[in-house]
Every structure is written in structure tokens, then in C-alpha cells.
Amino acid sequence: MRVVPVVVTLLLVLAGCSAQAPEPTPSLPAPPAAPKIVGYFTDWGVYGRNFQVEDVAADKLTHLLYAFGKVTGGKCTTSDAWADYQRPVAAGDSVDGVADSSGSALRGNFGQLRKLKAKHPGLKILWSFGGWTGSGGFTEAARNPAEFAESCAKLLKDPRWTGVFDGIDIDWEYPNACGLSCDSSGPDALTGLVADLRRELGPGALVTAAVPADTGKLGASDYADVAAQTDWLNAMTYDFFGTGNTPGPTAPHSPLTAYPGIPRETATTEAAIGKLLDLGIPAGKILLGIGFYGRGWTGVGTPDPGGKGTGAAPGSYEQGMEDYGVLARTCPPTGTVGGTAYAFCGGQWWSYDTPDTIKSKMAYARSKSLGGAFAWELSGDTDDARLLSAMAAGLS
């Protein structure tokens, strides 16, 4: 008889109909990348400022940018051979307490950077090229980006300091716009440089670029394409006001937001970051810039922003500019405006960020899901790194 097989078959069919197909396991979003805490170290800081590699609070950094290499004849070159790799470093200024000798394989800052990486294995170091006074050479480099990239890779991997640098930062001020000099290489010039750098250095190297915070200059180059070729962009969200020997009106050089009476509504960190996001640049590829210094006027008669002075206030190294570490002692804050601090003392009016205003800016960076923040530059901080500590705490 065939009854039993038919019944069994029917039961199996019914069971199959009533069983629920297993739910697919939902794919979890990738965890957000840890915020980048980046600081510029300048080669000239080892002279007058006596800020040595040993003074870097590397435990608070994820990346260190060494400024600056030069662009000469369309190629990457060293800027100061003595500071970079020739200068013998005394034991008291050395990362490991050991002095350089005549037989040291690598001396100067590069030798100290190698020791710093050994002490902090997670720290990544990039060599930054250009800067305000060194950007003129990029115009020639943009005519042959492949040759430029080849020269940079060769310099980066020089046997004397191989392994010190993990990549290259391009600080062109400004492509297809005016800085100290003007460039008319076209909107794709910077893209060409970083694209060839990426091809030459390979996917394992870091390639980054500094970008302006002036919303007009941000329209002069295709920064979305630049972002696609780089690991991140350093938005220079400072120096909005206070440059030059002008009588004012006094205004903070790095406001986070606009405020009543601001001389130019778009001259804020918020406007610059908003513009970068509007260009389609992923938030995680944008780093917010913090200046570790103040800009100020002298001959000012009113403590509030918007007053007039007689010119730039005296500074230790440059008129109208002073390190935060000095101002914190000599002219402490008397108020805040636009999310940053200002100070009025003895007829001088200064603006600068403090640990408190930096924490507020880091909260803003987190609210926008930015990739982190960077400092220009580390020697302006206090001896106990109060500003850098505020950056690190604010992003944690």
C-alpha cells in the first residue's frame, strides 16, 4: 500500500509551508574611525623658540606633520638640512636622553623623529611641503605632477631617514588663487599633484592636504576630487582677521560662529566647514584647524570687539602675533565672542583659543562627525600642552 508515503509527504509539505524562513542577519555599520589628533612641528622652532622634538606631547597625538619641505624646480627638496638631519642634538634635548655624536647615523630633527616613533609606535609622521612662504614652487610642480611625485617619493624614502615618514602633506597656499603669490594653474592642479603622489607612494602611505577656510578660495579648486585622492584635508580655520598692520576693526582671528558686528559673515569656522560639506567632501575626511597663537592690535581704546587701534601689537617673533603660551601669562582672556576668546590689556587687544574654547570647537567637530582636528603649531602651546590636551579630551 502507498498510503503511508503519501501521508508522510503531505506532512512534510505542510511543515515546510508553516516554517518561517530565517531572518537575514543585518549588516552592522562599520564603527566610526577614531578621531585624528594632528599637530604641526616646524623645523625653525628648534632655533629661537627652542622647541625640540623631545618637547612634543606625542602621547596626545595620532599624527605629527613636519613643516616644511620645499618645492624647488618643481620637485620636493629639504628646506633646512642643518635642522633636518645634520645638527647634533644634546642629551638634554634628545627624546631618549642620548646625545648625537659625530658617528651618529642620523642627527637633527629626523634622528629625533625616529626616536619619537620608537617611543610611541602608534604615532604616524608626515612630511609637509609648502606653507605660506613656500607655496610658490607648486605652480611649476603642477606642470609635471608625475615628476613632482617621483621626487617626493625618492626624498621620503632616502636611505638616511627611511622609515621616519609615513606619508606627505601638501600645504599649497593657494592653488588657482592668491596667497603670498598668485597661481592660475586651474581647478584641477592640486588634484593632479595628490593623485600622482597616491600612485607613486602606494595605498599604504598617507597623503593629506591643507585647504583654505576662505569660502571664496574653496571655489577655486576641485577640493572634492582632492579629498577623493587623500586620506584627509586640513581645513585652516584660523587667520580670518587680524593679519597685516591695519588699524582694525578688532575681530577674533578664529571665530567658530558669526556674531553681531563681525566684519565678514562668512569668515568663520562654521561657514568654512559648511562649504566643504556642501562640496560633497565626506565629513570624516575634514579636520578642523586650531591656531596655537593669538593675533592682536595695539593702541586700542575699547575692550569689546570692533574697536580701532594704531596697528599690530608687538609679538615675540612677529608683529601682531604671539604664542598662546605667552598670552596666557601676559594678557589673559577678558571675554569670548563667536566661540573664541579675546583679551584687552594695556591698550592691546588679542584674540586666541583657550582650553575651554577648544573643547567647544571639538564638540562642534563631533556634532558634524568630522575626522578630528589639527594644530598649527605645537610650539605655541604651554609647557604642559594645555591646548593639545584640550583637543585630545574634547575629541575623546
For the stretch 166-183, pLDDT in tens is: 999 999 999 999 999 999
| 318 in active site | no
Averaged pLDDT, 229-257: 93
Question: What do you get for the CA distance between the two ends of the chain, in Å?
Answer: 76
Tell me if the pTM is above 0.75.
yes
Averaged pLDDT, 214-234: 97
- pLDDT > 70: percent of the chain: 91
- Could you tell me the pLDDT band of residue 103, with boundaries at 50, 70 and 90? confident
Strands 63-72 and 75-77, by their bridges, are antiparallel
- pLDDT > 90: percent of the chain: 89
**How many whole angstroms separate alpha carbon 224 and alpha carbon 309?**
40
- Could you tell me the pLDDT band of residue 14, with boundaries at 50, 70 and 90? very low
List the single range of 27-31, 72-76, 130-134, 314-318 with lowest mean pLDDT: 27-31
Q: Give the tens place of pLDDT for each residue, 324-383.
A: 999 999 999 999 999 999 999 999 999 999 999 999 999 999 999 999 999 999 999 999
**Is the per-residue pLDDT at 26 higher than 80?**
no
For the chain, what is the mean pLDDT?
93
| pLDDT in the model for residue 33 | 81
**Is the per-residue pLDDT at 11 higher than 70?**
no
| pLDDT in the model for residue 333 | 98
**Is the per-residue pLDDT at 135 higher than 70?**
yes
**Is the per-residue pLDDT at 47 higher than 50?**
yes
**How many whole angstroms separate alpha carbon 253 and alpha carbon 45?**
22
**Is the per-residue pLDDT at 209 higher than 80?**
yes
* Residue from 23, 140, 173, 318 carrying the catalytic annotation: 173
For domain 34-291+353-395, give its CATH number from 1.10.600.10, 3.40.190.10, 3.20.20.80, 3.50.50.60.
Answer: 3.20.20.80
**How many whole angstroms separate alpha carbon 124 and alpha carbon 20?**
51
Strands 63-72 and 124-130, by their bridges, are parallel
- Better-scored residue on pLDDT, 25 or 172: 172
Averaged pLDDT, 20-25: 54
**Is the per-residue pLDDT at 5 higher than 70?**
no
In the chain, what are the domain boundaries? 34-291+353-395
Q: Hunting for cell 592653488 — which residue is that?
A: 175
Q: Give the tens place of pLDDT for each residue, 284-301.
A: 999 999 999 999 999 999
